[in-house]
Chains A and B, each alone.
Chain A
């Protein structure tokens, strides 16, 4: 009876016989919901963190990949230019070799004339001895 009266004025008693505005059942469900919500929020936060980490990681990977890609391109270019450099170096060395060759040729000519002089002088000595 009393319960019905109280129900009319939207007041309730719980198991401990305390006066409640809300129906204890509803209150119970509300609390449960609240707890569930909290758990959900926590989980979501965790998920976000994990995803953030993942993104970061992927970003890092991308950067590394980009770096490697640049390096590869650089290396490829270097490889291409090395050929050119070699060519230039070869050219330089070739020029130096030509220079040395010319010097050698000069020395050869000088040597030849010296040999000729030696022969001349030997002949002269022979002649001299013979005539004496």
Chain B
């Protein structure tokens, strides 16, 4: 990826340009010390003077009023705020009419920013004050007072917090009074510029120590650049938060969000005082010290999938290279390419007006449909369909170009969604809420309706990243997520009445990804790279989980590596320095998954015997239990040496009725409640009681016995025996109550039990459908 810059021969402004701002993707306003405001139309390459300001106004900063206000969309920004050196800020319309000039600070007003809703404006000045203003320019409050000039300011993603600089310090101050202020020393020199992205919640700062740094919103340093030759005078996040631009004397740099630099340009610009990204995030404009305005657009993005390599060579041209036969196709588009995604055999490209869908089998005839709103901010693909988000909503399209659904939830903000907060699979869509970060909204992909009872999934702490598995049955859809404490959890998406368990399977996880062809999960935990070959194990036999895990030392990947993708048996990881690392994992688990999904148990066993790997056997054991194929489970458990489990499986096999066997398989997986419910439904009250007795779940056993008015003496008998064995006294009030006036007669109890078992046998014999094998398909 690099920047293609363009600079006019002669500067349009006579003095230094202090600030720039985009109205649409192709129109820019620039202000200069020569008091002119210029409008740059990139479609016609025309530059016109909008207005000449009075001679005493020296502009310093401008910011356009946000486009969307409370869901109401405007086609483009209508007015902007301009701060000036005489201590005023001015509200100026698109045509250049100064609507209002408001005395704001003593000394120059150094920066002014609208919040994301456009309901408030923050200004900072040389006098060290931070002031909040209403939309019409009425002073709401003076948020803070610093001893030094405040050079730059930015709103937090939720418009609830303000970030500003004071000397070498960065300060995050919430708007609510008395809320905790976060303050830290960020640079060794005065901080000149900062920016806070609403999508990824990361902070950028740049200062006179010639460095730029990336922080998270807790003030933790994520990246610090090498010192440059000159102070960094400007930084700006791209709207989608994937890239940022850095400006300095004769320097323009394009960086990844993790800090490493994609490209460096050395244009003849003087210092670049201000950088603004266009709305669609494809180009930047810089305000140069020598009166120029520099334009640069991002080209040579690359997408790779299997044997295809796609490069955006020009703004409207893509080059597709098939690595296998070196065939090259050129894809031409009518408009500028804004976003693209390549996965599952399809390339989805959005331009400013249309969406193109290519199949990797045929590059010549794309499917084209028009977009409602031009600026697509995210494209996510699943095997059967893909998702587009723009300012207005989320849309699911099939690869045939048919609109499938458009899920919505209250308070949805589509502009801040990214691949970490949205996940798509063939049947489910998961979206992390921004207002309450503990909540994940789940939707049926086909209908766009909330899943199940419509209640979102709620976790106990804030969630940072979510991912849905891609294969398998809809009923078994799983979602994995990482929370704020960096713990990795997995849970089922479907909830049948009762609350599904959210199970922790990892700690210190930075990043995760599901495989595209089978339900294998990989993640980076602290300094280890882990692959969960069969994450569903946690629902089947939790003890088995460590055995189904593949781990590898990942300390060589240095700090904060990110998983880019997990395609086939190849994991692509991006190190903090930007280099890509590819890892191969064993192809066998994927094959095993395939066999199991088509119930080829013999083949699966044969494969495991061939591979001779404990991990594979452990996976097979878990898979077999999950699919209730006890024969295979027995073989697999025997191979990994879990003799106790083999014995239990054998004992299950000898159980008289189908229901009992089912119940015990459920018990085997630790689903006591399900097992009990199953038995009770089948009328096997005694067996249900016995389960509870065996688990020393005395209260429940007694409750059942009393409720069904049977075997109360059995429960009491076993309880007495238990207490005697452990030399304890009865303290449970209920048992004491029932023990009164009830004689425990073991002969009687035994006779009763015999009778129950015989009864069950009879019943089983009466239903001829019981197969000889224990295989019970669900």
Contact = CB atoms under 8 A, between A and B. Distances in A.
B580 A95 contact: no
Given A92-B250, A106-B577, A114 B264 contact: no
A117 B261 contact: no
Interface in A75-132: 91-92, 95-96, 99, 102, 105-110, 113-114, 117, 120-121, 124, 131
A105 B579 contact: yes
Interface in B574-597: 575, 577-584, 587
A64 B483 CA distance: 81
Contacts, number: 45
Interface in B537-584: 570, 575, 577-584
B610 interface: yes
Given A92-B250, A95-B229, A114 B584 contact: no
A121 B250 CA distance: 47
Nearest to A120: B584
B135 interface: no
A95 B610 CA distance: 55
A106 B578 contact: yes
B263 interface: yes
Contacts of B263: 99
Nearest to A117: B584
A112 B769 CA distance: 60
A102 B261 contact: yes
A99 B261 contact: yes
Given A92-B250, A99-B263, A99-B264, A109 B570 contact: no
Contacts of B610: 131
Interface residues of B, number: 20
Nearest to A89: B266
B165 interface: no
A45 to B, nearest CB: 55
Contact of B580 (A99, A110, A121, A124): A110
Interface string A14-44: 0000000000000000000000000000000
B251 interface: yes
Q: Which among B250, B251, B263, B264 has the greatest number of chain A C-beta atoms within 10 A?
A: B264
Contacts of B583: 113, 117
A117 B582 CA distance: 8
B229 A113 contact: no
A106 B579 contact: yes
Contacts of B575: 109
Contact of B584 (A102, A105, A107, A121): A121
A114 B582 CA distance: 6
Contacts of B229: 91, 95
Nearest to A108: B579
Contacts of A108: 579
Contacts of B260: 102
A26 to B, nearest CB: 82
B428 to A, nearest CB: 32
Contacts of A124: 587
B266 A96 contact: yes
A106 B229 CA distance: 23
A109 B583 CA distance: 12
Nearest to B226: A98
A69 B577 CA distance: 55
A110 B584 CA distance: 13
Q: Which among A96, A99, A114, A124 has the greatest number of chain B C-beta atoms within 10 A?
A: A99
B264 A96 contact: yes
B584 A95 contact: no
A86 to B, nearest CB: 15
Q: Which among B266, B587, B610 has the greatest number of chain A C-beta atoms within 10 A?
A: B266
B582 A109 contact: no
A110 B582 contact: yes
A109 B575 CA distance: 10
B583 to A, nearest CB: 7
B619 to A, nearest CB: 19
Contacts of A99: 261, 263-264
Contacts of A105: 577, 579
A110 B579 contact: yes
A106 B250 CA distance: 25
A95 B578 contact: no
A109 B581 contact: yes
A107 to B, nearest CB: 8
A113 B578 contact: no
Interface in B227-261: 229, 250-251, 260-261
A113 B577 contact: no
B251 A95 contact: yes
Given A92-B250, A109-B579, A110-B580, A117 B570 contact: yes
Q: Which among B260, B263, B582 has the greatest number of chain A C-beta atoms within 10 A?
A: B582
Contacts of B587: 124
Contacts of B579: 105-110
Nearest to A124: B587
Contact of B266 (A92, A117, A120, A131): A92
Contacts of B582: 110, 113-114, 117
A77 B496 CA distance: 85
Nearest to A88: B250
Contacts of A114: 582
Contacts of A102: 260-261, 577-578
A122 to B, nearest CB: 11
Contact of A95 (B266, B570, B581): B266
Nearest to A105: B579
B266 A106 contact: no
Contacts of B570: 117
A113 B581 contact: yes
Contacts of A117: 570, 582-584
A59 to B, nearest CB: 38
A48 to B, nearest CB: 51
Interface in B260-312: 260-261, 263-264, 266
A105 B578 CA distance: 10
Contacts of A120: 584
Nearest to B262: A103
A97 B47 CA distance: 35
B740 to A, nearest CB: 70
Interface in B664-723: none
B503 to A, nearest CB: 32
Nearest to B266: A92
B137 to A, nearest CB: 44
B267 to A, nearest CB: 10
A2 B759 CA distance: 202
Interface in B16-32: none
A107 B575 CA distance: 12
A94 to B, nearest CB: 9
Contacts of A95: 229, 251, 264, 266
A102 B259 CA distance: 13
Interface in B164-206: none
Contacts of B251: 95
Contacts of B584: 117, 120-121
8 contacts: A99-B263, A105-B577, A105-B579, A109-B575, A109-B580, A114-B582, A117-B583, A117-B584
Q: What 3 A-B pairs come out closest when comparing CB atoms?
A: A106-B579, A109-B579, A99-B264
Interface of A: 91-92, 95-96, 99, 102, 105-110, 113-114, 117, 120-121, 124, 131
Given A96-B266, A105-B577, 6 more contacts: A92-B250, A95-B251, A102-B260, A110-B579, A113-B583, A117-B583
